[in-house]
Amino acid sequence: MTDTSLSQTAPERITAAEVVLPCTDLPATMKFFNERLGFRLDAIFPADGPATAVISGHGLRIRLSRDASEMDPGRVSLRCADPKAVAGGETELTAPNGTRIELVEADPPLALPPIDQSFVVTKMGGDAAWGVGRAGMRYRDLIPNRQGGRFIASHIAIPDGGLVPDMVHFHKARFQMIYCYKGWVHLLYEDQGPQFTMKAGDCVLQPPEIRHRVLECSPGFEVIEIGCPADHMTCIDHEMPLPNGAVNPDRVFNGQRFVRHQADKVEWQPGRLEGVEFRDIGIAAATDGLASAQVWRLGAGVTAVPAVKHAAEFVFYFVLEGAMTLQAEGQGAQALSAGDSFVVPEGMVFGMEGASADLELLEVALPADYGVELKE
């Protein structure tokens, strides 16, 4: 018979315990625990449609999950440095009353789903395309299939503006950037000094686990956020105040540096495709080539972009201004205008034509130095 009892050294190996409770209405349940019972929010995910929240208070840590069955008698999750070392190799136990005890890693490595590229076009659409996400912000999913869970791109809006009910938090992600599409927002970032304002056309790269907070924004504020992987955890830091007193813009967070791109301080450069100009957001250098982000526009009198194909893991475009027709191999013509977006998979030939004079596109690619071939 296998001995599934906890070893005598288990208390030293267990770093935290959570009671996992099911709930069908996560916002209402969180509000009850937070406002009525004084619990605090520690983590929530995914940001665009929260399904799980971790709260704590009065010596108790609770994981609220929309995915848990209402018939589940409940379970206790013990977070361990080495789960298999706690109970003789077992990772799940059952108490006499039926309560499930699961032994999980205290700080699991980031799970990166395999690449599953596909062609995606997302139109601006109407109000039905928007949902409510973290901190009451409105979210529009720009890549509904998430490329197999590898990437997420969200159009986020705060229509009324004003103070944002945000807390100091961080994200466990491989890559995350925010491009200000409309309006302005006041932000704070760890080791980046006092609050600053991000305006339309500006962008930030959020290195993995950098602490930050959104303070206030203008009415009609909108951003484009791109992240990898699609599902990543948002964690609340209740201990660090921002600003945190340190100013170290060159600090490296998990291999990346913070980027604050100010559109009005960057010059346009000739692009690698004929007739294209771009302003570089600086993400390639800050991520050591992991990713790049640029804003494209066409030169005077230019109405088309040559047909090409790429060899990248991910290439995403968002139409910031103007209109054009996308021609993609096997997909027919796609008329696109401001607010529309598209993803083109590796090896698919695509080009743009019929562009308006004010056309501007945001391009985000992983890796930064990806290969491009002109159509033969």
Select the highest-mean-pLDDT range: 79-83, 108-112, 188-192, 273-277.
188-192
Is the distance from CB of 290 to CB of 297 less than 8 angstroms?
Answer: no
Report pLDDT for 260: 98
The secondary structure of residue 26, as a DSSP letter, is H
Alpha-carbon distance 102 to 291, whole Å? 37
Token representation of residue 93? 């136990």
Confidence of residue 349 (pLDDT cuts 50, 70, 90): very high
At the topology level, CATH places domain 10-105 in 2,3-Dihydroxybiphenyl 1,2-Dioxygenase; domain 1 (3.10.180)
Interval 133-187: pLDDT, tens: 776 789 999 999 999 999 999 999 999 999 998 999 999 999 999 999 999 999 9
Is the distance from CB of 151 to CB of 226 less than 8 angstroms?
Answer: yes
How far CA 251 is from CA of 179, 190, 367, in Å, comes to 21, 10, 22
Cis omega before residue 194 (within 30°)?
A: no
Alpha-carbon distance 62 to 97, whole Å? 19
Query: Rounded to a whole number, what is the distance in angstroms from the first to the last CA of the chain?
Result: 68
Alpha-carbon distance 140 to 47, whole Å? 12
Mean of the per-residue pLDDT values of the chain: 90
CATH 3.10.180.10 domain locations along the chain: 10-105
Report pLDDT for 69: 58
**133-248, which class in CATH?**
mainly beta
- Tell me, rounded to whole angstroms, the distance of Cα 274 from its chain centroid: 32
Q: What CATH number does domain 265-374 carry, 3.40.50.300, 1.20.1250.20, 2.60.120.10, 3.90.1150.10?
A: 2.60.120.10
Mean pLDDT of 361-371: 95
Report pLDDT for 75: 72
CATH 2.60.120.10 domain locations along the chain: 133-248, 265-374
Is the distance from CB of 40 to CB of 65 less than 8 angstroms?
Answer: no
How far CA 62 is from CA of 219, 234, 246, in Å, comes to 35, 16, 33
Alpha-carbon distance 374 to 218, whole Å? 42
